[in-house]
Structure 1
């Protein structure tokens, strides 16, 4: 991965996802003002809407709050930890991240868990979804160990990118890059699917 390609791809994200990115910023503000649960639900509904409508059928707000209360002390412990200088192979760090992820996965599934984590600490956690897991050859079940391996892969893949003092945080910038690549892949698959249907008619 080179710097020019990385920055060019992120610029593309700003064009295609401006509205949802604004909601992301509003979610951050909600957390700062103490409306944490509302912030997470906003992000799950707008950034994970394909799955959100399904698990909302059995959504338990009280259980959601209890899980957030359980993981917040660990979030607090990691609040000054940044993606670019974290050793994700370190057992102490990995254990903390796996605990948070495992708890959140129970209530928001694998993609939603990563989005909550990234909203809470955009300097540390990188989001993923089904297409991104495919790109990096990660099991779509998305267990806690898989998420740690994903973070390690992200560090290795983007190790040559210089991002000191830039915005958004490096972890969020990586997500924006991944999103654009995944979006392109989805577009190609859609075109192929349409072409396939056309040949049958």
Structure 2
């Protein structure tokens, strides 16, 4: 059996923990404080997040979307494949090393999505990008930590509070979609989305298309 090989490691800004990138043959894994955060073999639900949020925009002229969390680039790749050539896909990633890994070790996994001219990278907290936006995004996709129950960075919890949802609604255009990925269901988060006046749909998606753990995706539309 092939052993895991440590490729690189980095601290998450603002005392968010220690992140490591591993490789085993053609498989990659990113861990935070020795707990696996993502694995290259299991990205079916990350793909689905972008596909579900972006499919309604396929015929929109010059769609502009925001993805919070780069991961291994799979959500970005799915958004690029779903949206038209005039789209702008903005990525907000807090950890500089994750951006670097997606340009080097992980670049081939999702077909070099950072090299696509439609991609704009913000080395920033997605909450700050959202807070500074007003009626500009056709969709916002949050693939941060493990969802409403944050793992990597405690500050990410604010994305899922009533205030965080309100900020996202303000950043969306009329009819825009807020898509949120989570490792687990969360009835409290569903209530907060509905409490913000959003039309909410909750889906359960397998981690590996037809098998693996079940993850939750919320699609919340601004009325």
TM > 0.5:
no
Structure that is richer in strand per residue: 2
Q: Which protein has the larger Cα radius of gyration, Structure 1 or Structure 2?
A: 1
Q: TM-score, normalised by structure 1?
A: 0.27
Q: Higher RCO, 1 or 2 (CA under 8 Å, sep at least 6)?
A: 1
Q: TM-score, normalised by structure 2?
A: 0.25
